[in-house]
Amino acid sequence: MNAKGLFAFAATLLALPLQAAELSANRGISILYINGQAAEQKIGTNEIDEGFTQVIVKLDDKLGKGGSAKVFTSKPYTINFDAQDADYKITLPKMFSEMEAQEEFAKAKPGWGVEANGQPVEFTQAVVEGKKGFMPYAGMDEIVAKHNQQRGIYFQDGQLIDAPVAVEMAPVAVATASAVATANSTAKATTQAPKAVVKNVEQLKAWYLQANKEERKEFRRWMIDQE
């Protein structure tokens, strides 16, 4: 291929659209936030970047038949996973009544699922607790930010700038070392990243929240011994 043909081929490649991961959800599931930002499409398809992805979702659906049908709205949940070049879908078991939904969401871990091109992928989930009193989820931006700060997770303009290693690696076992290195280097280069002291405190909080009852007791005993 001569130089002219090579340049033409390169121009053709550049003109091709870039592949992006896409995210949608089953009927009745609302996508509220993606990486700390309000989702562009609550019930449609959103484009997402590859890498660590946090989606905040809730079930908001009319369940039942005829006059007995009622709208059920769950608490919001974070769904964390590692996105690749694929079509992702957030799923839930089919529920036919408000009672079924109440029973499902009374579980410590409701049956949320994440599929990539129809195949299940690993993820983590956590309920997003609201404020006490009337309208507990008013000011959702602040609630989401606080939820993440308690777990040592920080986003800026939809990009992950810092997170505990366990959080970055837990959703998908095949996360690459280069992806983690990129996230770490981005965090160091970002002037808006939290100060080291604050980060250490938040990391300790995150580990404590992830520990079980016995581990927390052991940790508290260790703290007393250090004083």
Q: Quick: pLDDT tens for 126-184.
A: 999 999 999 999 999 999 999 999 999 999 999 998 777 656 544 444 334 444 444 44
61 and 134 housed in the same domain? yes
| Rounded average pLDDT over 121-129 | 97
147 and 40 housed in the same domain? yes
Q: Is pLDDT above 80 for 63? A: yes
Res. 15 pLDDT band, cuts 50 70 90: very low
**Number of domains forming the structure of the chain:** 2
Q: Is pLDDT above 50 for 109? A: yes
Decide if 153 contacts 168 (C-beta within 8 A). Answer: no
Q: pLDDT for 29-49, tens place per residue? A: 999 999 999 999 999 999 999
Classify burial at 49, counting beta carbons within 10 Å of its beta carbon; exposed 0-12, middle 13-18, buried 19 or more: middle
Residue 166 belongs to a domain: no
Residue from 25, 23, 31, 40 nearest 84 by CA: 23
Residue 13 belongs to a domain: no
Mean pLDDT over each residue of the chain, to the nearest integer: 81
Q: pLDDT for 184-222, tens place per residue? A: 444 444 434 444 445 566 667 666 766 777 777 788 777
* Residue 35 to residue 80: CA distance in whole angstroms: 9
* Residue 79 to residue 171: CA distance in whole angstroms: 9
Q: Is pLDDT above 50 for 6? A: no
* Residue 68 to residue 81: CA distance in whole angstroms: 37
Residue 94 belongs to a domain: yes
pLDDT at site 214: 75
216 and 136 housed in the same domain? no
Q: Is pLDDT above 60 for 7? A: no
pLDDT at site 78: 98
Chain centre to alpha carbon of residue 112: 12
Q: Are strands 87-91 and 21-25 parallel, antiparallel or unpaired?
A: parallel
pLDDT at site 225: 77
- Residue span of the structural domain in which 209 resides: 199-226
The residue behind tokens 């930002």 is: 37
